[in-house]
Structure 1
C-alpha cells in the first residue's frame, strides 16, 4: 500500500497522530502472516488450467503452516508472547477439539486437523508479541490477499473458460489455484473494506487505494457472492459509523455512499435483482441454495450426550456428504455445544472490547472484521478450525491490543531500587494540541 507523501515518515511506514509505532516489527513477521494466508486457502475447488493433485495442494498448504510456525519460532526464539483473550479462547477450543477427535468418529483425519489447528494457534501465540494496536498487520493482510486475487485475475485473463465455468453457473473461480466463488468473494470484500478504511483514515494515498479497490470490486461482482457483498456493505457501514462523530472524512464517505446507493437502487434495480438472484428459483433462493435441507437434517440427527457436548471431531465441514455452510452448525457437529459456546464467547469478547475502545481507525477496522465474520458465519463455515475467518479475527485482536511499552517492565524491575530512584527523569516532549487524542481526521 502506498503512503501519503504529505505526512511525516518514520523508518517503516507513514503514521498519523494517535497511531502506535510498530517500527520494531521484523519483516519476517509479514512473511509468516503470508504463509498463514496460504495455509488457509484450502485444497478443494474448481478445476485449474494445469491439473493439480489434491495431495500436492495439501502438501503446499500444510508445508506453509509448518514453515510459518518455524519462522515465527525463529524470530521469537525466547518465546515472548502477549496476553490475548482471543488466542487463549482459541487454545481452549483446540483442547475441546482434541477431546472430541480422540474417539476417531471422524477418522484419523480428525487428529491431523487437530495437529494443524495446534500449529495455527501456536503461530498466533508467537506473533502476539508484535500485536500492539498498530496497522502493521492490516497491511500484511491486504498485501497477502491482494496477491491471491492477483492469481485469480491472471487465471481469468489466461483462460476465461476455466475461470468462469458452467459448473459454477458462470461465477468466477480460481483457474490457477482451486478457489471457489465464495472464497474469492470473501478475500475481495475484506481487502476492499480495509483499504477503504485506510483511505478514510488517511493511512494510504488514493492512487494505491484505487489500484486495490477497483480490481477487487470487479472480481467480487464476477463471483456473484451475496454473503461477501452483504458482509462488506454492513460491516463497512458499522465501521464507518464508529468514526462518524470524530472523522469528517468518514461523514463525507458515508454521505456519498448513501447517495450512490440510492441512485443505484433506483436506476439499476432490475440489474441488481438479477445479479442477486443468480437465476435461481424462488424456492431455491428461500432455502438458501439448499442449505436449509442440510441444516434440518443435521439438527434432526440423534446424538448421545457426549456428542452433544463435544461433537464428533474435526471433519471436512460436511454432513451426509453435503457441505454444512454454517459456522455454528459446523462447530456444533464437530465440537459440540462446548465449541459453540467458545466461538460465541470469542465473538462477544472481541465485539465488547471494540465497543469499549475510544474511536480510532484501528477500532473501525476491528469492527469491520468482527461484523463481517459474524455475518458470513450464517452461510459459511470456518469459525471452528484454521481458516481465513479465524485469521480475520486474529487481525481484529491485534488491532484491539494495547500499545506495547517502550521499555519492558522486567527491565525496570530488574534494576536496584536505589539506582532506579537516582536516575534522572526523562524530559517530557511538548506535544502540540493538534497531535493530542485519537481523533481520525
Structure 2
C-alpha cells in the first residue's frame, strides 16, 4: 500500500517544472500527518456492523478516545508556543461549543452529553494547534487520502477473510467492516472522498496515472459494493463542481469533463435498467419516496413538543437518534441537540467556507476544497456529523486548510501546486 501511496508525491507530466515537488510542505513535520490520522481514527466511531472477532464497544471507545487524546498531545508537543493560523471555520466551530455546553449541563441530560462536549472541545483544540501548518498547500490532502485509503484496505482485507460477515443479510448484503465495525455509509463516504481527491490530484498533475488508478479502482469497487446513494451522488456532484472550477484554466480538466459527460450519457442509455436497480436497492417506490423511513423520523422530531430553552439551545449532545431511531439528517440532529443557535452556527460555517472558496482564484487546492464542501453539504441531508466531532468536520477542516492564506513573507504554497507551461527550447536561448 505504501508503494501505491508514494505516487501522490510525484508530479506527473511535462508541464510540472517545480524541481522540489514537496517544497511547499518542507516545513511540515511528519508527526503532523500522524496527528491528522489519529483525528481520523477518532471519527471512525464505535457502533456499526458485527465483526469477525467481536470487539467490546468499550474497547473501541477507548481506542478512538485514546487516539484523540494522543493527537492533541502530539499537536501540542509540536506547537508548544501555541502558534495558530486565523480560521473563520475553526472559530465558528469553537462557538458551537457554547450551545453544546449550555444544553448538556442540564441535570436530566446525563454525563454522556458532557463527555461528548469534552470530546468536541478536544477535537477543536487539536485543529487549532494543527492550523499552524495550514498554508493552502496539498499536504493535508495527501494525509487525508492515505488515512482513509488505509481504512479501505482494512475493509478489503475483512471482505477477503470473511465475505459472509462483510456482506451480511441484515444490511441487505451491502459491504460493511468485518474487522472494524463500519457501516456501508461510512465506507461509501471514505471511498468517495479518496476517489474525488485523487481524481483532482491527477488532473492537477500531482500524481501519476498508474498511482491514481491503484487508489481509484479499488475504492470505486468498494463504493459500488456499499450501494450508498448519498456517497455516490456526493462524489459525482462534488467532482462536477470542482472540475468546473478548473475548466477555464486547465486543459486536462476540460478533456476530463468532456469525456465524463460522454461516458455518463452512454452509461445512462446502455445500462439504464442496471443503474436503476442499483439505485433503488430492491426498495419499493413508497419506501424510496420517504427516504427509507427517514421522513417519518424527521416529522416526529419536528412535531415533538419542546420548551423555549430546548428550541434555542437543544437537548444536549447525544447519539444522533430520536425515540431510538437514527435521525440521519445533520440539520435536524443539530436542531435537536444544539438548538436554533447550533443550526445558525453550522449554516454560517458552510456559507463562510463556501464563500471563501468561491472568492479564491482558480487553483487545484481551491478545486479540492470545493469538492469537499459540496460533498459535505449534500451529504448533510441524509447523514449526521456537522454538529459533533466527525469525519464530515474533518473534511471541512481540510477544506479550510486548502483555503488558508500563507503567512506574510512565505511563498504561497498553492502557487507551487499550479502546473506551469513547458518553456520551448528556442525560448530559453
Aligned partner of 2:101 in structure 1 is 98
| 1:295-322 Cα shifts (integer Å, max 9, x gaps) | 0000000111100000000000000000
Aligned partner of 1:53 in structure 2 is 56
- Check if 1:86 corresponds to 2:93: no
Secondary structure of 2:25 counterpart: coil
The 5 Å alignment of 1:395-410 reads: 395-406=398-409
5+ long unaligned stretches in structure 2: 422-429
Aligned partner of 1:255 in structure 2 is 258
2 CA distance for matches of 1:149 and 1:357? 32
2 CA distance for matches of 1:305 and 1:110? 20
The Cα of 1:205 is off from its aligned counterpart by 0.7
- Check if 1:4 corresponds to 2:11: yes
The Cα of 1:96 is off from its aligned counterpart by 1.7
The Cα of 1:276 is off from its aligned counterpart by 0.3
The Cα of 1:88 is off from its aligned counterpart by 0.3
Aligned partner of 1:313 in structure 2 is 316
1 CA distance for matches of 2:108 and 2:318? 10
Aligned partner of 2:426 in structure 1 is none
Secondary structure of 1:362 counterpart: helix
Superposed structure 1 runs of 4+ greater than 2 Å apart: 4-11, 404-408, 435-441
Secondary structure of 1:316 counterpart: coil
- Check if 1:268 corresponds to 2:260: no
Secondary structure of 1:4 counterpart: coil
Q: 1:235 aligns with which of 235, 238, 250?
A: 238
The Cα of 1:278 is off from its aligned counterpart by 0.3
Contact 2:246 2:367 in 1 (8 A): yes
2 CA distance for matches of 1:197 and 1:130? 22
2 CA distance for matches of 1:34 and 1:84? 21
2 CA distance for matches of 1:437 and 1:193? 17
2 CA distance for matches of 1:69 and 1:260? 45
5+ long unaligned stretches in structure 1: 16-20, 409-434
Contact 1:14 1:203 in 2 (8 A): no
Contact 1:68 1:123 in 2 (8 A): yes
Secondary structure of 2:382 counterpart: coil
| 1:111-138 Cα shifts (integer Å, max 9, x gaps) | 0000000110000000000000000000
RMSD of equivalent CA atoms: 1.7
2 CA distance for matches of 1:149 and 1:104? 41
Q: Pick the structure with greater CA Rg.
A: 1
Secondary structure of 1:325 counterpart: coil
Flag the 1:91–1:289 CA change in 2: closer, same or farther, 3 A. Answer: same
Aligned partner of 1:420 in structure 2 is none
2 CA distance for matches of 1:334 and 1:437? 41
Contact 1:149 1:187 in 2 (8 A): yes
Instruction: Give the aligned length.
Output: 409
1 CA distance for matches of 2:221 and 2:417? 38
| 1:143-164 Cα shifts (integer Å, max 9, x gaps) | 0000000000000000100000
Q: 2:26 aligns with which of 20, 23, 27?
A: 23
TM-score (norm 1): 0.90
2 CA distance for matches of 1:201 and 1:237? 15
Flag the 1:306–1:138 CA change in 2: closer, same or farther, 3 A. Answer: same
Secondary structure of 1:154 counterpart: helix
- Check if 1:379 corresponds to 2:382: yes
1 CA distance for matches of 2:309 and 2:416? 55
Secondary structure of 1:279 counterpart: coil
Contact 1:101 1:314 in 2 (8 A): yes
The Cα of 1:229 is off from its aligned counterpart by 0.2
Contact 1:192 1:217 in 2 (8 A): yes
Flag the 1:253–1:397 CA change in 2: closer, same or farther, 3 A. Answer: same
1 CA distance for matches of 2:138 and 2:408? 17
Aligned partner of 2:289 in structure 1 is 286
Flag the 1:155–1:342 CA change in 2: closer, same or farther, 3 A. Answer: same
The 5 Å alignment of 1:322-341 reads: 322-341=325-344
The 5 Å alignment of 1:159-198 reads: 159-198=162-201
Contact 1:98 1:114 in 2 (8 A): yes
| 1:6-50 Cα shifts (integer Å, max 9, x gaps) | 545666x457xxxxx221000000000000000000000000011
Aligned partner of 1:349 in structure 2 is 352
Aligned partner of 1:418 in structure 2 is none
